[in-house]
Amino acid sequence: MMKDHTEIKSLKAQQIQIKEFTYDLPEERIAKYPLQNREVSKLLVYKNGQIEESVFQSLSKHVDANCSMVFNNTKVIQARLIFHKDTGARVEIFCLEPLRPADYNLAFQAKSRSSWKCIVGNLRKWKTGVLNMSFYVDGKTYHLHAERLTPLEGAQEVQFSWDHPDLSFGEVLDQTGKIPIPPYLNRDSEDSDTIRYQTVYSKFEGSVAAPTAGLHFTESVLGELSNKGISREELTLHVGAGTFKPVKAENIGEHEMHTEHIQVDLKTISTLSECQHSIIAVGTTSVRSLESLYWMGVKLLCNAENPSLLKQWEAYQLPQDYTFQEAFQAIRIYMQEHDLSLFNAATQIIIAPGYDFKVIEGLVTNFHQPQSTLLLLISALVGEDWKKIYQYALQNDFRFLSYGDSSLLMRS
């Protein structure tokens, strides 16, 4: 019996070897700090197989009028909490995602206690007991407590409690936590990171890493895009620590993608369901969100189980012939039938060479680590030209990774 096209496509993608997606990234090319002015970063423009060098403040000149740009409005939380035991031992707790309550909004609004899935540094020094940290509000001393609960796979459940009766957990994190800048920067976070590791349009708390393509935007750049007739839509994907997870498997099929949570409102879904022009995603997280939403719409059209959950390889196995308008229309109808103002979903999608993009025509993004799933996504978009793009960036003094320069990449 012959295998169908979708199964063959899925198998081919899973057989991709990560060693084919590497390049030499010298340490000095990694931007350890952002530029003082967000919009003066360099911009590499890739269209029709050709590369042009520009600056980010000129982005509107390179984007066609009347297209739509989609932004991820997630906000980075101060997720790193550093405690010290009575012995002086340092224990670092990195909050990944809420458990009780599991909803992000409810978790940040919680008073007195909240439980989170956490990575704990120096865990062997914290076998038992409650960790304590003092913080100050209006000249008064309060305390944040951390207690280990259930061990999880590669993590711990930690219950936080605090004795300020009016502070939410989000406000406690603002008082006690540090911004979790990427580990490859090899430095501690500084006060300036609290501002610069956020986009100017961030709204909803929940990420432990910034959607870094958005770090280049200023109100001026956004205004110029609007003046050209480029519409702006927003959605929320909370970026998890898994975005830094290296691919250790030789074949992509053996790599397990992390789960990330998407939230999008009915207005955005309705607008996208009627969109008749090209869509450019700002950042790989927006790409993952838009493409995942398409497949969730397809699952609704096919009456598949768990339409709000997309597993790692489902996009390669589902029917491929629906338009993105039909898929988003299915989500719109589902939301209206269930009286939902927000569509909450979770995705493990992996976008690798062979993936057929259903929603986006282009992408604004930074330059990514060698042998990363993000580089696979870039290759899926521009094909083998990713090598030409990255070689150009290396040879022309572009700055790399989260605080580095940017690119506008249009589909090959």
Please give the C-alpha separations between residue 39 and each of 73, 190, 219, 298, in angstroms, as whole numbers. Answer: 18, 21, 10, 38
Partnered with residue 381 across adjacent β-strands are none
Does the structure show a pLDDT above 90 at 332? Answer: yes
Q: Which residue has the higher pLDDT, 350 or 11?
A: 350
Q: Which residue has the higher pLDDT, 129 or 6?
A: 129
- Token pair, residue 392, equals 């150009």
Does the structure show a pLDDT above 80 at 173? Answer: yes
Distance CA 279, CA 297 (A): 17
**What average pLDDT does range 369-375 have in this prediction?**
95
pLDDT of residue 242: 74
Does the structure show a pLDDT above 90 at 318? Answer: yes
pLDDT of residue 167: 95
- Token pair, residue 290, equals 């838009």
Reported confidence tier of residue 410, pLDDT bands at 50, 70, 90: very high
Contacting residues for 238 by C-beta, under 8 A, at least 6 apart? 74, 97, 104, 204, 206, 207, 260, 261
Contacting residues for 379 by C-beta, under 8 A, at least 6 apart? 21, 352, 353, 386
**What average pLDDT does range 15-41 have in this prediction?**
95
Does the structure show a pLDDT above 80 at 6? Answer: no
Tracing tokens 């096209």 back to the chain, one arrives at 5
Distance CA 8, CA 317 (A): 9
Q: What is the percent of the chain with per-residue pLDDT over 70, rounded to a whole number?
A: 97
Torsion angle in degrees (nearest 10) through CA of 271, 273, 274, 277: 90
| Range 92-128 burial, b when 16+ CB lie within 10 A, else e | ebbbbbbbeeeebeebbebeeebbbbbbbeeeeebee
Nearest of 229, 351, 220 to residue 283 by alpha carbon: 351
Does the structure show a pLDDT above 60 at 122? Answer: yes
pLDDT tens per residue across span 30-70: 999 999 999 999 999 999 999 999 999 999 999 999 899 99
Contact present, 362 and 410 (Cβ < 8 Å) = yes
Does the structure show a pLDDT above 80 at 328? Answer: yes
Reported confidence tier of residue 2, pLDDT bands at 50, 70, 90: very low
Nearest of 412, 386, 350 to residue 9 by alpha carbon: 350
pLDDT of residue 88: 87
Query: Mean pLDDT over all residues of the chain?
Result: 94
Does the structure show a pLDDT above 70 at 202? Answer: yes
Does the structure show a pLDDT above 80 at 9? Answer: no
Distance CA 374, CA 366 (A): 10
Q: Domains along the chain?
A: 5-75+197-410 (3.40.1780.10), 79-177 (no CATH)
| Burial class of residue 338 in the structure, from the number of CB atoms within 10 Å of its CB (0-12 exposed, 13-18 middle, 19+ buried) | exposed
Between helix 385-395 and helix 373-382 the angle, nearest 10°, is 110
pLDDT tens per residue across span 229-258: 999 999 999 998 777 667 888 899 999 998
Distance CA 331, CA 110 (A): 30
Q: Provide the pairing of β-strand 90-100 with 113-121.
A: antiparallel
Reported confidence tier of residue 4, pLDDT bands at 50, 70, 90: low
Lowest mean pLDDT of 19-28, 164-173, 211-220, 240-249, name the range: 240-249
Does the structure show a pLDDT above 90 at 113? Answer: yes
**What average pLDDT does range 80-108 have in this prediction?**
93
Tracing tokens 């009456």 back to the chain, one arrives at 303
Reported confidence tier of residue 7, pLDDT bands at 50, 70, 90: low
pLDDT tens per residue across span 135-159: 999 999 999 999 999 899 889 999 9
Does the structure show a pLDDT above 70 at 1? Answer: no
| Range 250-270 burial, b when 16+ CB lie within 10 A, else e | eebbebebbbbbbbbbeebbb
Distance CA 128, CA 30 (A): 39
Does the structure show a pLDDT above 80 at 412? Answer: no
Tracing tokens 């978009």 back to the chain, one arrives at 381
- Token pair, residue 60, equals 């509107």
